[in-house]
A = this chain, B = another copy of it.
Amino acid sequence: MQVVASPANTSTTGFGFVSMIDNPMTVGPDIGSKLIGRSQGFYGSADQRELAVLVTMNLVFLEGRYNGSTVALMGRNRIAAGIRETAVVGGTGVFRFATGYATARTQRFNQTSGDAVAEYNLYVLHY
């Protein structure tokens, strides 16, 4: 994660905090698990009362039959929620004309390092 801007304000939710992300996407929860792509995008803190971000993110596949294809996600990620759902708003390559949704669930979170592992499941209708 790269912090882009971290506005000074009195919110306890980091309202206005903006970062870009580029995370490995693996088959399983272990970092040694097979790498199949990367999730790359924008997180912007968009809530004054709880920790919730606007997400615009591409799932970039770099392996197998989806190699070179992407799925575009947009939605709200309320970090502390058990299951977070975002919309599939489009895609490229194999995923042209994609529509659907993704659910995410935090598998592990290391409070010291800040590292997190999340499980994503996608339901995608596409061409």
Contact = CB atoms under 8 A, between A and B. Distances in A.
Interface of A: 2-5, 7, 9, 11, 15-16, 18-22, 38, 40-42, 44-48, 52, 54, 56-58, 60, 70, 72, 74-76, 85-93, 96-101, 125
Given A2-B15, A76-B60, A97 B97 contact: no
Contacts of A76: 40, 58, 60, 70, 92
Closest 10 CB pairs of A and B: A87-B90, A2-B16, A40-B46, A89-B90, A85-B92, A89-B89, A58-B76, A4-B5, A72-B74, A16-B20
A90 B70 contact: no
Contacts of A2: 7, 9, 11, 15-16
A92 B38 CA distance: 23
Contacts of A101: 90, 92, 96-97
A85 B97 CA distance: 12
Contacts of A75: 58, 70, 72, 90, 92
Contact of A18 (B4, B70, B85, B96): B4
